[in-house]
Amino acid sequence: MDSVIDPVQAQVDAYNARDIDAFVASYAPEVVITDASGRAIMQGSESIREEYGALFDASPDLTAEILGRLASGEWIVDHERVSRGGEVREVLVAYHVVDGLITRVAMLA
């Protein structure tokens, strides 16, 4: 795999395994996650640990399937199908990767 794609794929694999330690390990300590408007919804890897740890604990059937992936420079954009509790939705997520860690995530749709 490409070094920019590696942490993105690693966090998808950890998400599907609901492995919070491996999931957080893909992110820079100062990571910022924003919604489509650019508003920060999580800041810092400890915030990710708290939010996603609770999600993983509450969702034994949680999965994300990558339907498509684009890469350009330090950016990866995934088209994902997320399943949880019988609900399925498709999302677009952009990941900015620097020095092997995800530094910014934009939840686009």
Token pair, residue 83, equals 């399943």
Token pair, residue 36, equals 């489509």
Q: How many CB atoms lie within 10 A of CB 20?
A: 19
Is the confidence at residue 1, as pLDDT, over 70? no
* pLDDT (0 to 100) of residue 2: 67
Closest CA to 79 of 70, 71, 88, 87: 70
By the 8 A CB rule, do 28 and 47 touch? Answer: no
Say if pTM beats, i.e. exceeds, 0.85. yes
pLDDT digits (tens, 9 = 90+) for 9-44: 999 999 999 999 999 999 999 999 999 999 999 999
**Residue 40 burial class via C-beta count within 10 angstroms: exposed 0-12, middle 13-18, buried 19 and up:** exposed
pLDDT digits (tens, 9 = 90+) for 72-87: 999 999 999 999 999 9
% of the chain at pLDDT higher than 90: 94
pLDDT band, residue 4 (cuts 50/70/90): confident
Is the confidence at residue 59, as pLDDT, over 70? yes
Domain boundaries 5-107, CATH class: alpha beta
Task: Determine which helix (DSSP H) or strand (DSSP E) holds 57, and give its type and residue range.
Answer: helix 45-58
How confident is the prediction for the chain on average, in pLDDT? 95
Strands 75-84 and 87-98, sheet pairing: antiparallel
